């Protein structure tokens, strides 16, 4: 398995990171705990030893499952988690209301005050059954908290040995520049896929220039780019994917047509369309590593298969030309 260094830190992670959002069940219509643990163990068996989670994924459940799965294996695993989305307190900026895995209403707030972050970190350490985190990231910008205060908390946690490095998620270039006045950020975790490429305009060039890593999440656009979804697809209650623009009407039809166009290339290499999509994402300029979620061991095996081939420059160009003709209504 290939490892890469996050920014200018000494933290190394795998080129594909196990994304643990789905195993928390929230927004995915539930999840099976046993399948999730098997998925993590399969990931480790295949050399994907970096795991990205967050407290809000299942309201603590995802972190708890990760902690259970890696018991006795801490030195073999790199743990990435987050802070800044609070559901147990009315504090900061109201984000949105939703339902937890038990179907009970819950409100989520964006808050990144110093003492709150330190409290969240202790909770994550407890759920993950560890005494340090390899990468700690703010989940979303928190408008009511000065960025300098947030990053000062990161410096304290690094000094205390609770975290090895500090990163951000969903930050703009301007927000990263402000954060950099207080701390040396190593990464920004942002959405990026064949059908969501807006960061190519500004964030990727800035991060490349300033030696910051980009962790691309949702490279398969929450499963859309596997080609397994059709118009009229049934989703279980609690699954939010049909409410997103990528899964709606013409966008779904156009995307599936594009996937059919690149399917022969995948077949010629004896790989799946999903593996081809992951490989493309990994090879795009500025992308340091890719987060690929999995809810069971079979999905982990498919994700790992993206390491078994390389796309030529000509093949990358051909795919990009097809993408340039894909006009989605987002």
Tell me the CA distances in angstroms from 54 to 86, 118, 328, one per residue in order. 11, 15, 30
Q: What is the pLDDT of residue 179?
A: 98
Classify 165 in phi/psi space as left (phi over 0), alpha (psi -120 to 50) or beta. beta
What is the pTM assigned to this prediction? 0.95
The percentage of the chain sitting over the pLDDT mark of 70, rounded to a whole number, equals 99
* Mean of per-residue pLDDT scores for the chain: 94
Q: What is the pLDDT of residue 24?
A: 85
What does the alpha-carbon distance between residue 144 and residue 248 come to, in Å, rounded to a whole number?
34
Q: Are 213 and 200 in contact (CB under 8 A)?
A: no
Cβ neighbours for 311, distance < 8 A, ≥ 6 positions apart = 276, 279, 280, 283, 319
Residues 81 and 117: beta-carbon distance below 8 Å: no
Active site annotation includes 95: no
Q: Which residues contact 151 (CB under 8 A, 6 or more apart)?
A: 166, 179, 182, 183
Distance CA 211, CA 254 (A): 36
Long-range contacts of 277-280 (CB under 8 A, 24+ apart): 277/193, 277/194, 277/219, 277/220, 277/225, 277/226, 278/16, 278/219, 278/220, 278/303, 278/306, 279/306, 279/309, 279/310, 279/311, 280/194, 280/311, 280/316, 280/319
Instruction: Give yes or no for residue 29 having a pLDDT over 80.
Output: no
What is the structure's pLDDT at 35? 92
What pLDDT shows up at residue 249?
A: 86
User: How far is residue 147's CA from residue 223's CA, in Å, rounded to a whole number?
Assistant: 33
Burial bucket for residue 313 (CB in 10 Å: 0-12, 13-18, 19+): exposed
Supply the DSSP string of 10-67, one letter for each residue: S-EEESEEEE-SGGG-TTBT---HHHHHHHHHHHHHTT--EEE--TTTTTTHHHHHHH
Report pLDDT for 27.
65
pLDDT at 41 over 70: yes
pLDDT-derived band at 77, boundaries 50, 70, 90 = very high
* Residue 28: band (very low, low, confident or very high) from pLDDT cuts 50, 70, 90: low
**Angstrom distance (rounded) from CA 234 to CA 258:** 22
DSSP structure class, residue 247 = G
pLDDT in tens, 103-160: 889 999 999 999 999 999 999 999 999 999 999 999 999 999 999 999 999 999 999 9
Task: Given the residues 57, 83, 95, 217, select the one marked as catalytic.
Answer: 57
Question: In the chain, where are the structural domains located?
Answer: 3-224+275-309
Q: C-alpha angle 159/165/167, rounded to 5°?
A: 125
Q: Which CATH class is domain 3-224+275-309?
A: alpha beta
Tens digit of each residue's pLDDT (9 = 90 or more) over 207-264: 999 999 999 999 999 999 999 988 888 888 878 888 899 998 899 999 999 999 999 9
């Amino acid at each position: 398995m290939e490892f890469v260094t996050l920014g200018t830190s000494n933290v190394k992670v795998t080129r594909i990171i196990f994304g643990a959002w789905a195993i928390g069940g929230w927004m995915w219509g539930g999840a099976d705990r046993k399948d999730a643990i098997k998925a993590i163990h399969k990931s480790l068996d295949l050399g994907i030893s970096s795991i990205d989670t967050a407290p809000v994924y299942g309201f603590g459940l995802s972190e708890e499952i990760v902690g259970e799965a890696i018991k006795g294996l801490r030195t073999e695993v790199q743990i990435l988690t987050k802070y800044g989305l609070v559901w147990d307190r009315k504090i900061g900026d109201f984000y949105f209301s939703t339902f937890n895995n038990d179907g009970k209403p819950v409100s989520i707030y964006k808050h990144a005050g110093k003492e709150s972050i330190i409290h969240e970190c202790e909770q994550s350490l407890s759920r993950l059954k560890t005494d340090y985190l390899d990468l700690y990231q703010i989940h979303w910008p928190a408008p009511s908290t000065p960025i300098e205060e947030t990053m000062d908390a990161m410096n304290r946690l690094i000094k205390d040995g609770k975290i090895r490095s500090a990163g951000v998620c969903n930050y703009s270039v301007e927000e990263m520049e402000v954060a950099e006045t207080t701390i040396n950020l190593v990464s920004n975790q942002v959405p990026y896929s064949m059908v969501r490429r807006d960061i190519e305009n500004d964030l990727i060039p800035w991060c490349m220039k300033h030696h910051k890593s980009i962790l691309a999440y949702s490279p398969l656009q929450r499963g859309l780019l596997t080609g397994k979804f059709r118009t009229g697809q049934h989703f279980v209650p609690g699954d939010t994917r049909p409410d997103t623009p990528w899964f709606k009407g013409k966008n779904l039809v156009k995307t599936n047509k594009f996937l059919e166009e690149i399917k022969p290339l995948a077949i010629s290499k004896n790989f799946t369309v999903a593996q081809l999509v992951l490989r493309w994402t990994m090879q795009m300029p500025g992308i340091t590593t890719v987060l690929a979620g999995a809810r069971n061991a079979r999905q982990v095996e498919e994700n790992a298969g993206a390491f078994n081939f390389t796309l030529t420059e000509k093949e990358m160009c051909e795919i990009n030309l097809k993408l340039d003709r894909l006009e989605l209504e987002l």
